[in-house]
Structure 1
């Protein structure tokens, strides 16, 4: 594998069809009298929830159109602050200077763990924090040193605008080094694709994105499960936010209220996150 290459994933974007799923009409009566367009961008971990919720809403309210784009937490914060979108998603709390600059109101609706993951064929299933930091610093560079195959460790990381990277860097690496040979990917989905195709890779992604195609690793003896994230036993975790410029109104308010509704909380849990009520 070439080192230092950038693995590019297309910006995730949808204009969702209102005809692709069963309607939950009883939950979305508030949208019936509304019409217009709602633009959302930012954190990629949010997208499965945004997509399902938006599809249901648009089926119940055909005069409403909702578009969703990824791009990372930094982009979501910037675009909502500049009025490009109405809701900017972030996998980290906006910084105090961002809140002040843009007049942001934060809406935290879920807690998400960030799992360290490898290809499922890799026999390594646990690391210590010291080992993880050494891997990303480049001083531990062969799987053989960890009980795996005699092959170089291929590093994967996210770009600087990623909320997932920010949480991983602070809580998993203790703000330690990420070696410049690490391969960059653009989203949680792209990270899963990269790791599922590389038997010697290691990276990190939302716990909500773990499935049979990747294997989450225990860190210091604690597995990246929803139960461990919820209890606080697994410490590499963050909030998921949908931010607005000032108080949410109109379609934006209705959408955020929908996230906190019983059906919204059900969708959040079904996508692998821990719902936060209000």
Structure 2
């Protein structure tokens, strides 16, 4: 039986080899975990899963590269937690922690001194602002609140669903369980299956604010909830009759549909331009909140870095909409003023739109966008700049016309201070609404200033 004995000998040798390889790999894992444990934490970001899943790790890696770090590694430490580590030029092993459990958790972490920067896919709530006021100052102020990207909350359905567009009221009826079959909306006779983000998610918070609360309904208990946007999107794309909502980068194989506010006639598909201009009904800003009283120099350096074009390219690589300005030829319908339509016929619209708070003060993003717009105009040697203002509807056409012109003049004056003289500035009142004037959010969207340039 020499062949049999020889075979057993070979098998035993191979077994010993594999066992030795396996035992050698274990200390490597321990060594890596030990290295992470020994790394100095430069700062921690906590909050939004939309930011924390892809964008924050990518920005952290690029930031460490900017600091001259080597051996940069991304480590998954939890389902929604990551650590980006590297060795700085001074030889110190350093790391950035990212904990992406949902927007509300970022503000809670700030309250308990458990994070340096809060990530949020919606603006800080008044209740959160009040709670943190004594400890961190006004986090809604320009020296604490930073818009780092714009995102579209896409409504997605299974690819076989024939419906192409829905308004926010119809979405509210679907997600509250009032409408349970696609045939009730003109589609095929098929039960609707609901998928939604979890309670901690800023994506869900935005959907609740823009759709559910606006129409005074609650999410159906039949909806399946998910902490991960990617997992939700995958299930919608593979489940017959499914509908869900995700951040724009997570549409993947599902089918996005056009959305309008209830009471508005314009439906917009979620795409880079309509999200950037914030014309799309379910567009939203992505924020970082760094308290003005922070004493962490690395956290402030990171914020400054994120606002620069180099980092904004990382935003685009992460399939989000950056703050960098671009242009597009846009065609509108006849609901707009004839003079406006004549003016834009040979023009292109820029992707920046200026919005104002309830006191008609230019918001934080807008204040920073002024500088970005001036740089774009000068870099491209643009001479024909058109500034067009619009107001929400007050049922007083004269008042609306005056207010829209004042808003346009506000932007033109800021541009002139920085060396850019608009060719034409005009206000068009409340005509050309892109949203419903029946809601505060709709009125805020309609009250805006657009920038157009000659072709």
For Structure 1 versus Structure 2, the TM-score category normalised by the shorter chain is 0.7 to 0.9
Deviations 1:21-42 (A, max 9, x none): xxxxxxxxxxxxxx74322121
Superposition pairs of residues 1-150 of structure 1, within 5 angstroms: 36-47=41-52, 48-59=54-65, 60-61=68-69, 62-63=87-88, 64-102=94-132, 103=136, 104=139, 105-150=144-189
Take 2:230 and 2:215, find their aligned partners in 1: how far apart are those partners? 24
Deviations 1:30-58 (A, max 9, x none): xxxxx743221210111221111112233
Q: Which has the larger radius of gyration?
A: 2
Contact 2:169 2:215 in 1 (8 A): no
Counterpart of 2:244 in 1: which secondary structure? strand
Inter-CA distance 201–176: structure 2 relative to 1 (3 Å threshold): farther
Take 1:163 and 1:229, find their aligned partners in 2: how far apart are those partners? 17
Residue 285 of structure 2 corresponds to 239
The TM-score with structure 2 as length reference comes to 0.50
Take 1:268 and 1:187, find their aligned partners in 2: how far apart are those partners? 19
Residue 242 of structure 2 corresponds to 201
Q: 1:256 aligns with which of 293, 296, 303?
A: 303
Instruction: Specify every segment of 5 or more residues in structure 1 that has no aligned partner in the other structure, as ranges.
Output: 1-16, 18-34
Deviations 1:196-217 (A, max 9, x none): 3323211111113223x11111
Deviations 1:110-135 (A, max 9, x none): 22121111122333322233321211
Residue 335 of structure 2 corresponds to none
Counterpart of 2:50 in 1: which secondary structure? coil
TM superposition shift of 1:274: 2.9
1 or 2, which has the higher helix percentage?
A: 2
Counterpart of 1:275 in 2: which secondary structure? coil
Take 1:135 and 1:100, find their aligned partners in 2: how far apart are those partners? 34
Instruction: Specify every segment of 5 or more residues in structure 2 that has no aligned partner in the other structure, as ranges.
Output: 1-31, 33-39, 70-86, 89-93, 261-266, 324-364, 369-455
Deviations 1:141-190 (A, max 9, x none): 11233344432111112233222122212223325322121111113223
Take 2:297 and 2:55, find their aligned partners in 1: how far apart are those partners? 20
Counterpart of 2:194 in 1: which secondary structure? strand
Taking only aligned residues, the RMSD between alpha carbons, in angstroms, comes to 2.2
Runs of 4+ aligned residues of structure 1 deviating over 4 Å after TM superposition are none
Given the alignment of the two structures, is residue 271 of structure 1 paired with residue 276 of structure 2, yes or no? no
Residue 219 of structure 1 corresponds to 259
Contact 2:278 2:284 in 1 (8 A): no
* Higher RCO by CA contacts (8 Å cutoff, separation 6 or greater): 1
Take 2:215 and 2:117, find their aligned partners in 1: how far apart are those partners? 29
Of stretches 260-269 and 52-61 in structure 1, the one that deviates more from structure 2 is 52-61
TM superposition shift of 1:222: 1.7
Counterpart of 1:127 in 2: which secondary structure? strand
The TM-score with structure 1 as length reference comes to 0.79
Say how many residue pairs are matched.
244
Deviations 1:62-115 (A, max 9, x none): 233112121100011111221112111011111233223222432221221211
Take 2:57 and 2:237, find their aligned partners in 1: how far apart are those partners? 23
Contact 1:81 1:245 in 2 (8 A): no
Contact 2:41 2:97 in 1 (8 A): no
